[in-house]
Structure formats: structure tokens, C-alpha cells
Structure 1
Amino acid sequence: MSRTFADPVRDTCSLTGHAGLVIGDVMYIQGGRMIYSGFEGFAQNPYLRVLNLTGVVRAQDIPDNIITLTDDRQPFAWNVSAQDTRSPMFWLDETGRKAYLALGAEVDVGNATYIPERNYNPGRRGKMWTADLLDGGILSNWVETDIRIGNRNPNLIGTGANWFDRQSRTGYAWGGTYIDGAEIDSTVNQLITFNASTGVWTNDTTPFTESVSGFMEGIILDDRPVLITGLGVTNDQEGVMDTMRVYDTRSKQWYSQRTNGQLPPNRFWTGCSTIVPAQDQSSYQIIYFGGANSSVTFGDVWSLSIPSFTWTQLAENVESSVSAGPRYAPTCDLMKDHYLVVVGGNHVERAYTYAFPQCDRNSNLAWFFDLNLLEWTSQVNGGTADTYRVPAPVYSAIGGGAEGGATLTQPPGGFDQNALATVFAPFAARATQSPTGTSGGGTGGGTPGSPESSSGSSISGGAIGGIVVGAIAIIALIGVGIWFFLRRRRQQPRDLVTPLPPPPPTSTNGAAQPDKGYIGYASVNHETAELQAPPHHVALRPELHGDSAVYNAELPGSTPNDYRRDVYEAPSGNNAPLLQEAPM
């Protein structure tokens, strides 16, 4: 079956490798590649989609609430020649009133004839796109501009493990994948940082041999971002749920921390995540959905509570008319304070990873999980959003209640590295503060330590004398405590900033490692495939969104390991440069 061109609304089937950007009640969806219904194989996805949740939206009406921009119509002024890459950085700088669309891996498209040629731009080295943020959350006036790292043109690196801090106006991207024109992809060992206030991009090496995407979320602690990453493939550990990585942007040190609670099944093929704070910020929940391993695709929802690093299951795999179902390579975003919005991904039949995706036709590309009700919902309500409430299964594990008040301020067995106790110290300090100035029977929802009104009653002279004596005693106790702390610290060995990672999982049959790659659909090449999927499909690398395809090369200029995208092979001697010199 074939038509002249694929219709971007009617013929949607499976969208992967895209990125989402939320502004208020509007989400922008860009990049990635699409399987079009009635067309063979992957094709490019050069459109900008806009999901509007400003009013009441029913699940069956999703197509009517997604605008697919195929031209420069107002007010969006979408440039149809903008790049179409996989897992780009799609960030919003509210202070600078700009959106940034940068990097992303090259889209492998053998079917460019499905889309009008004028819409096909696989991305250019040393270039990115910006848009103006207008009133009402409108992104408009898309233009191409330069990007340099170390005065060089960075290559096209894609990773879903990226996060932008709107307070410090700084973006971070961990690991990623470089893909050359022959579909040879290479893992990168790096942390890219973008300072939107100066326009400067930098790159730092990480202590990991590889970091094949996964997820990244951030928390602001003591006026600086602390990054938390996990899953994907790190140091050859494939999608393990029992270890997270933490990056302190102030000290520029990486740490590892074991998780606790009921561990989800391991998965290294692309799920997706978002993060939401308790009302009093006594805890944060990283919400994780979906993903796949070599045989099973998941449709469950989990919460990883910070700072205790406690896993809690929020929903099991659900197949219904309103659930996202088992899928990998979607995006996850938080909207209206308590809705997990899942967009795209490959929805596979019977949760079997190698099955061909079931089509999300007619732009039915979004699903909603209500974090307050812990269920997939058929309707998103308009008007003022309900406040997020910590789910009962979560606060049963970490203490407190729906509004916050978490009492577990570290993992049950303590942090694996002493320095992490300092990184996450603001949580412990917050937990020891008593709320003041509450009224009307409030239960600790006020701001701790808030100043009292100057019109309050005065304190007597006797009380002042008692306060002075008490203060002297407290100072003496503090001095003794410091002495004991320093003495104990001198007696203890200093812990490593980044400890040796646990050994990678061993194969049950002593054979080759499981396939790491990005999942796709192609004929098996029997001459090169090490690990065969069912005879009609081959396991390709997971989609680069939040994905598990990252590689060993730095920006700028190191030598990456090379992999074939259709099969996983040992690194070869062919090293693809990740940078090309900027023109002088």
C-alpha cells in the first residue's frame, strides 16, 4: 500500500525519539521519527505538534487537541526547514524568553519520499534552532543559529537524559549517541552543559566508561542543581534499578547510590521520567513509566522518592482504552501539577518487545495518568489544577502524608558515600525545623522559620535572661559536638568520590551479552547478527529518547567506540570523529 505522501495526522502509527516541552497547559512535541500507517519502515517527522490542555480534554478527543504544524501559520511561525533529529535537547529559558532545539542524533531515513523534500533536515553540525517565547506560551519565529563547544562544531549527539534548570538558566545532557551516515553509532562519555545567560556550551568527561542514556532529573538544593540519573546502560550495567548516579553541580563530583524498596524489573530500553515535589518539598518523586528489556515491554508506573532513594510501584501494567499500555521510547511530562502525560512510543502487542508496534492512528498520541488518583484517566479537567498529593503508597514508605512531611531523609541504611549526606543535607534540615505561625488547625503546611509579625506581644526581661543562658549552653554543646565530629572524621577513611561500580550482570548461559541496542524493525542480517531476534525482526538500538544508546567519546575530540545499529557488536577499529573543526 502506498500513497504519494504520508499524512502527518491520518497516517500516524508509531512516534519515537521525539522531545516534549511544556509551557503552562501547552506541550510542544518535536523531532524523532515516525512509522506511518500504510508505509514501510521509518520516515522523518519534520513537524511541530502542539498539545493543548487548557480546557477539559477527553481521551477520545486527543486528535482534536493536537495541532500538527506543517507550515509557518501564525502565531507559531514554525520553520518547516528546522532540524529533525532523534532525542534533541528541547529547552525553555523563561527569563530569556527563548526556546532552544539543539543537537539530537541523525535520523536514519531511507524513505525520504514519504515526506515532501523541503521538510527534510536531518540536522547540521554546529547549528541549533531558537524560538521566541510570546505571551500565552506561544513559541514563534524559529531561526537557525550557531553552536560551539570549545570553538568547534559539535556533532549531532542525541540523549533523552537531559534536563534544564529554569532558575539558573542552565541545561545539562548526560551521555548520548552519535550516528554517522552509515548508521554506525558510538557511545559518548560526557556531560554537556549549556549556560543560556552567556550562550556558552561546555563539556566534561564523566567517570563512567559509557552512559547509554537512561533518564536525568534535577533538584535545586542550597541554590544549586543536583542531578540524578539512572537506567540506560552505564559501565555495561544494563538498566539496573538498584543504583542511581548523582552529580553535584557545585563540586562537580559524581556519586553512586543504591536504591531501596520494591525494585522494578530491570529495563534498559527507553522508558521515560518526570519529577514532582511534595507540597512542602520534603521529598521529590521521580515518576518512571514503561521501557523494555530483551523480552518484555512494560506499561507500569513507578516512583523513586528522593532523598531516600525508595522505589514504590504506583500502577501495574494496564491494557485499557485509556491507558498507554506497554510501550518503550515515549516521552513523559508533568502537566497541571498532577498529570503524567505520556506521548508516543512503540506500543507492542502482548508486551512482547520484538513485536511490531500497534498503530496510534489519527494522532492519538497522548495518554494521562492521574498521580493523585493513581489511575489512567479518560479526561483531563480544565480550570485551576489540583495540587499534587504524595500518593499513599509513597508516604507509607517515606513517612509524612499527602501534603509532605517526609521523615525518611536518607536511605534506610544511610548514604553509600558520606559526601551524599552533605549534598542532601537540606532535606534533613527541613525535617528538623518546626512550622511556625500556623493557624486554623493547619498541619505543618507553613514555611518553617517564617518571621513573626512585628505587632506580636513583647518578651519579658526574665524571658530574655533565660534565653541568654540557654543560648550559652547551646553554644557550648555545639562546640563539643564539633570536636567529636572532627575527631571521628580523622579516625575514618575518606570515601571515594566515585566508588568502583558493582560488577555488571553476568549472562545466564555464559554466552554473549544481551543486545543493547535500539529497537527497530528490519530484516535480520545473518552474516553480522550476534544475537538473533525472531527471524523476521532484529533488535536495533533502543530509541534515543531517554534511551539506552550512549557512547564513549567526548566533545570535543576523542575516539568513540563504534557499534552497528542493527546488531550489537564488539567495538571495532573504525573511529568516527565526533567533532568537525569550526570554519576559521
Structure 2
Amino acid sequence: MDTDPGNDTNSWLVWHDLDNAAVGMPQIHANLSKNSSIPSVHGGALWADNVNYRLFLFGGEFYSDNPTTSSMMSYDIWYDQWDDFGPPAAGIQRVSYGASTSVMERGEGYYYGGYLSNASMPDWNGPPRATSNLVRYKMDGNLWTKLAGPDDIRRAEGVMTFIPASDGGMLVYFGGVQDPDRNGTMIPQPMDQIFIYDIISNKWHVQEANGTIPEHRRKFCAGAVWSKDRSSYNIYLNAGLGFGGPGFDDVYVLSLPSFTWIKIYPLDRNGTGQYPSHSLSCNIVNEGSQMLTIGGSFPNDSTCDYEQVWGVHNVDLGNRIKGNFQKVWAEYIPTLFGYKVPGLVTSVIGGTKDGSATKMTPDAGFADHDIGILLGMKAVFPARTRANDGRTAPATGTVSKTPGSKSGPSGGAIIGIAVGGSVVLLSLLVGLWLLIRKRKRKPNAQPVAPTEPLVPTPHILPFSPYHSTQSPDSGQYMSPRTREGDGEVPVHNRDWRSASASSPPSEMDGQDLRIAELDVEN
């Protein structure tokens, strides 16, 4: 790979087996269906539905070709096939590099901001333009809603996470870029300005954060976890592209409801670490014990980032894998579950590893009294019912892991799926999303030639999507990413990899103003 360090399009649909960490990280597989009719994009969203066993691909930019479709595609995890759900409702435009998150408890996907461009929309003319709206997709019923953002400022390249606070959950957004004059001139979105959206009341709030504020950044990633008693919600941030310079190699925690930024890596120096990166994904796994960071671009280097594990790294969220939390990076432990608040966080917000935080307000108080009330509530979600879509659950079973196996993720496996996009060295996957801890085995079926078009089927959802069955930009390079431990670990011990770890992906043979709420059912 080092002999050909160029950019190529990743056309695979891949997943990680969280029960298998033989090389120190979850084993990657690329044996799921994705033929040429399914777009390979970057900067899109992949919303997860763990009740109906589906993934929904929304937005994103086509890597090299002009946009070929406006439809939202859905991957059927049970049957390893793609369904065409048609274009979104009127007024919902295909965007890229916005902030997205899934709320599986509610069966909803959200997307805030992002760019409109001729790389994401078939009929777009003119330069890229950021947007200011929040899009909601209800998976139970295929309902699209365009909602107002916190203001009419266009934004992109930030992050949004979900926390189970208030009556029905809240969304938290920060970072990225903004276009306050609405003229295409993008400036940094301040990292101490935190936007929170209350889902039930459909109301935005803004709060100023305190603590060790991260430098302005975009194209970073973050994941949210919370203490057992929900006295603190802790959002872990990693990496990002700066405004001048190569970017960042660091980890921060934004703790709510105190809105306190806490730097947890690196601690032996001011500023950032030695391996800045951006355009990666953060994936909370195993009930909040760990966060897998996957893919990304490394501006300072031209060599592959840990090709043995295909660019996957692990953040020890609760300081449970090693005793010294000054080095947050660790090998992945499949049997470690549950979040514990680490000492570097409790030393600031009070409490214990299980909760009981004592710092419950920002330093200057809440900008709005309602913010404190909402964050003090614990959301309760009714159980969702699987859609009556004519699909029946495949029989369960143990899937063989032999090299020639065509089976997908087995029971006990979690899925991290990448749907195309720009990748480097055909090894590091940009933008993987994690879905569920269990998946039923798919039935044995004859593979269909890759050129098979999308064809209608009578048994899909009531709103009649179509399906296609099985068939086999940042422009930067990847770098080595051996994590340093703030000087306490000898150089020859910094690499967590097994000396014999050299495992390729297995089973590769498969080869502008506020807008009123508008619900539209297709």
C-alpha cells in the first residue's frame, strides 16, 4: 500500500465484529451486498433502526461522478439487500457534511446544516452553499419533516449527538463552520457555543460553555455517554481539521449539565498530539465502555494508518482498561461493558464513577432557566413495535467464519457499515457507523449478478420501496498512529498491536429563514 498512496473510492459495504478482537481491534468484514446501483458517497448520514433491522443512507457527495439519484436507499440487515425508498418529501434537499445522529429509541434520524452542491444534488447550479435547517426522518412511516434550526445562520461540518434528557430526548450540536452573512464566506463556529434541541417541544436553546475550550475545528467526530444516574452527560470529542495547520490529535470531554470542557489527551504538552487527523467517525460501543474511532485523513503523513486493523483505534472512555488515564488509547476489549465516569471528569464535576455529579450548572449560570430543568429530566421511551412490512425474521443460527463464508454478521456481532466514499489505500474507511449488538442470520439465497437493476417487490413496506439483491474529500494521506502515553511508556512499548497481527478484511469475495414544520407522508 505504501507504494501506491493514492485516493480510491471505497465501494464496499463493511462491518466490524465486536466479539472478535484477535488483532487488538474488531475484525473487519466486507461480504455484504452493494452493487453499482447503490451510490458510493462521502459526507452523508447512515441512520440506524435497531427495531426493523435497517440502515438509511441520506445525503452525501458522489466522489467522482455527477449525482445519479436523489432517492434515499435503505439496507435490509435481515436479508442483505438494498431498498429504494424514493426521494425525500418536497422541500427536503440532499446535503452533505452536515451533522447527523440516529435516535433509535424514537425511530428517528436527524440531520442539521450541511452543504448543497453539484456533488450532492443532480440539478444544483452554482457554488456550494451551507444550509440552516434541521431535517427529521421518522423511520416508522417514512415521514420527512423540515424544521427550523437555532437561527437562520447557515452551518456545516459540526457534530450532533443525542442524550436521553428532557421528556423525549435532546440533541446537542457544536463546532464546524458558519456563514453568518449568508454570502458563502465560512468562519469558525465557536466551540464554546453549544446548541441544544428539545425534541418534544421542538425548541432550540443556546448555552455558553466553560472550562478548557477546544480550538476551533471542523470535520471532527464525537460520541455521547452518560453516568448510570444521568447526573452527567459526557460527550467525547476527537481530532478535527483546524483553520490553518494540519488539524488536531486530541480528546476532549464536554460534560453536561455544567457545560464544562475537559481536556483528557494529550496531557504532557500544550496543544495537540503528534498525529493530527480529520474526517473520521466516533462510534460508542459496548454500552458506553469504549469508543472506536474509524478511518480519517492524516495531513502530515503518507503512510498507512495501522493497516493491520484497517485504521481503527479505541478510546477507553472510563479508564477501565489501564490504570493511567493519561494515555486514553487502548486495545479493544469485547467483554468490557458499561460506562464509568473517569477520574479526570469527576475531579471537575464531582461525584463518583457511577454518577452523583455535584457541578450541575455552568460557571455563569444557565442562559435560559429551562435548560437546567430539561437536563434534569430523564427521558423514558415506550417500546417501539416492528413495522408490519411483510418481512419475517430469518431463522437464527451460528454463522461459520470460514474464509469462503458468504454469511453476514452473526448473533453477538455489531455492525459498522461504510457505504462507499473517498478512502486512502483501500484500507481506511471514511465514515463508518455502528448499529446493533445482534443480527439474525440471513437465509441462503442465490446471488444476483452485479448488473441487476432495482426491481419492484410486493412484500416491502406499505409505501412500496424497491430493492436490489446481493452482488458481489479530503485528498490527504494516512499516517502511522502509534499512540504516545505522555512520556510514561518506552517507545518500543507504545504499539498495542500483536507482533503477528496482519489480518486483511476477511471474506472479501463478496466483494434559509426559519421554516415551519411540515410533515409529508410518501
Q: What TM-score does the superposition give when structure 1 sets the normalisation length?
A: 0.57
Residue in structure 2 matched with residue 172 of structure 1 by the alignment: 110
Residue in structure 1 matched with residue 235 of structure 2 by the alignment: 286
Q: How has the CA–CA distance of structure 1 residues 426 and 553 changed in structure 2, closer, same or farther, with 3 Å as cutoff?
A: closer
| Seq. identity, % | 22
Q: Give me the whole-angstrom Cα distance separating, in 2, the residues matched to 1:270 and 1:51.
A: 23
Q: Does 1:372 align with 2:318?
A: yes
Q: Give me the whole-angstrom Cα distance separating, in 1, the residues matched to 2:224 and 2:263.
A: 15
Residue in structure 1 matched with residue 4 of structure 2 by the alignment: 38
Residue in structure 1 matched with residue 377 of structure 2 by the alignment: 426
Residue in structure 1 matched with residue 305 of structure 2 by the alignment: 360
Q: Does 1:90 align with 2:46?
A: yes
Structure with the larger RCO, 1 or 2 (CA within 8 Å, 6+ apart): 2
Q: Which one of the candidate residues 258, 261, 265 is aligned to 2:215?
A: 265
Answer 1 or 2: which has greater helix percent. 1
Q: Give me the whole-angstrom Cα distance separating, in 2, the residues matched to 1:555 and 1:148.
A: 17
What do you get for the CA RMSD once the two structures are aligned? Answer: 3.1
Q: Give me the whole-angstrom Cα distance separating, in 2, the residues matched to 1:358 and 1:331.
A: 20
Q: How has the CA–CA distance of structure 1 residues 280 and 58 changed in structure 2, closer, same or farther, with 3 Å as cutoff?
A: farther
Q: Does 1:340 align with 2:291?
A: yes
Q: How has the CA–CA distance of structure 1 residues 290 and 262 changed in structure 2, closer, same or farther, with 3 Å as cutoff?
A: same
Q: Which one of the candidate residues 15, 30, 52 is aligned to 1:68?
A: 30
Q: Is the 8 A contact 1:288 1:303 kept in 2?
A: yes
Q: Does 1:233 align with 2:186?
A: no
Residue in structure 2 matched with residue 79 of structure 1 by the alignment: 35
Q: Which one of the candidate residues 191, 196, 204 is aligned to 1:254?
A: 204
The amino acid across from 2:116 in the alignment is Y
Give the superposition deviation at 1:317: 7.8
Q: Give me the whole-angstrom Cα distance separating, in 1, the residues matched to 2:129 and 2:22.
A: 41
The amino acid across from 1:190 in the alignment is N
Q: Secondary structure at the match of 1:382?
A: coil
The amino acid across from 1:97 in the alignment is Y
Q: Secondary structure at the match of 1:194?
A: strand
Q: Give me the whole-angstrom Cα distance separating, in 1, the residues matched to 2:364 and 2:48.
A: 38
Q: Which one of the candidate residues 79, 88, 102 is aligned to 2:58?
A: 102
Q: How has the CA–CA distance of structure 1 residues 178 and 419 changed in structure 2, closer, same or farther, with 3 Å as cutoff?
A: same
Q: Is the 8 A contact 1:124 1:156 kept in 2?
A: no
Q: Is the 8 A contact 2:167 2:377 kept in 1?
A: no
Q: Which one of the candidate residues 384, 407, 412 is aligned to 2:363?
A: 412
Q: How has the CA–CA distance of structure 1 residues 521 and 327 changed in structure 2, closer, same or farther, with 3 Å as cutoff?
A: closer
Q: Is the 8 A contact 1:289 1:300 kept in 2?
A: yes
Q: How has the CA–CA distance of structure 1 residues 147 and 338 changed in structure 2, closer, same or farther, with 3 Å as cutoff?
A: same
Q: Give me the whole-angstrom Cα distance separating, in 2, the residues matched to 1:300 and 1:372.
A: 16
Give the superposition deviation at 1:361: 6.5
Give the superposition deviation at 1:185: 1.7
Residue in structure 1 matched with residue 89 of structure 2 by the alignment: 149
Alignment of 1:198-217 (within 5 A): 198-206=141-149, 207-217=151-161
Q: Secondary structure at the match of 1:327?
A: coil
Q: Flag structure 1 segments of 5+ consecutive residues without an equivalent.
A: 1-10, 14-36, 70-75, 110-120, 350-355, 428-517, 523-551, 557-583
The amino acid across from 1:38 in the alignment is D
Q: How has the CA–CA distance of structure 1 residues 68 and 376 changed in structure 2, closer, same or farther, with 3 Å as cutoff?
A: farther
The amino acid across from 1:49 in the alignment is V
Q: Is the 8 A contact 1:318 1:325 kept in 2?
A: no
Give the superposition deviation at 1:124: 3.7
Q: Flag structure 2 segments of 5+ consecutive residues without an equivalent.
A: 120-124, 181-185, 320-324, 379-472, 478-511, 517-521
Q: How has the CA–CA distance of structure 1 residues 96 and 519 changed in structure 2, closer, same or farther, with 3 Å as cutoff?
A: closer
Q: Is the 8 A contact 1:244 1:258 kept in 2?
A: yes
Q: How has the CA–CA distance of structure 1 residues 284 and 361 changed in structure 2, closer, same or farther, with 3 Å as cutoff?
A: closer
Residue in structure 2 matched with residue 398 of structure 1 by the alignment: 349
Q: Is the 8 A contact 2:158 2:177 kept in 1?
A: yes
Q: What TM-score does the superposition give when structure 2 sets the normalisation length?
A: 0.64
Q: Give me the whole-angstrom Cα distance separating, in 2, the residues matched to 1:553 and 1:82.
A: 33
Residue in structure 1 matched with residue 75 of structure 2 by the alignment: 131
Whichever of the two has the greater Rg, that structure is: 1
The amino acid across from 2:4 in the alignment is G
Q: How has the CA–CA distance of structure 1 residues 263 and 167 changed in structure 2, closer, same or farther, with 3 Å as cutoff?
A: same
Q: Is the 8 A contact 1:218 1:228 kept in 2?
A: yes
Q: Does 1:382 align with 2:354?
A: no
Q: How has the CA–CA distance of structure 1 residues 380 and 425 changed in structure 2, closer, same or farther, with 3 Å as cutoff?
A: closer
Q: Is the 8 A contact 2:5 2:303 kept in 1?
A: no
